[in-house]
Amino acid sequence: MSMLDPDTARDLAARLGAANDAARPLQVPSGTEAAVCLDIMRRQQLGIVKYGTTVADNPLPLRDWLQHAYEETLDQAVYLRRAIEQIDRELGAA
């Protein structure tokens, strides 16, 4: 699992605009949260390379965004069910 190095953390803080917010300094993620932040940044870069744009700049209609999310949710249900079945098989074999 990758952690945010200090330079990356400062860059992230600057991008979020938190570097100038003295009233509420940014708490830099660590551990699992940092790994999720890195995953999101990597996914964004992958999407930019694949689609040539960011989600924020993509002009898809809302209905299309909802359809994409729905299909990804169905995929997630399949992955979860498969993992549950594997755990059940492994526990049953013990």
pLDDT bin (cut points 50, 70, 90) of residue 79 is very high
Cα 18 to Cα 12: distance, rounded to the nearest angstrom: 9
Specify the higher pLDDT residue, 24 or 76.
Answer: 76
Structure tokens given for 86: 């594997």
**Average pLDDT value over all residues in the chain:** 85
State the pTM of this model.
Answer: 0.60
Answer with the residue of higher pLDDT: 67 or 23.
67
Higher pLDDT, residue 83 or 2: 83
| Beta carbons of 16 and 22 less than 8 angstroms apart | no
3 state SS of 55: coil
Cα separation, 43 vs 18, in Å, equals 22
pLDDT tier for residue 27 given thresholds of 50, 70 and 90: confident
Q: Within 13 Å, how many C-alpha atoms sit on residue 57's CB side?
A: 7
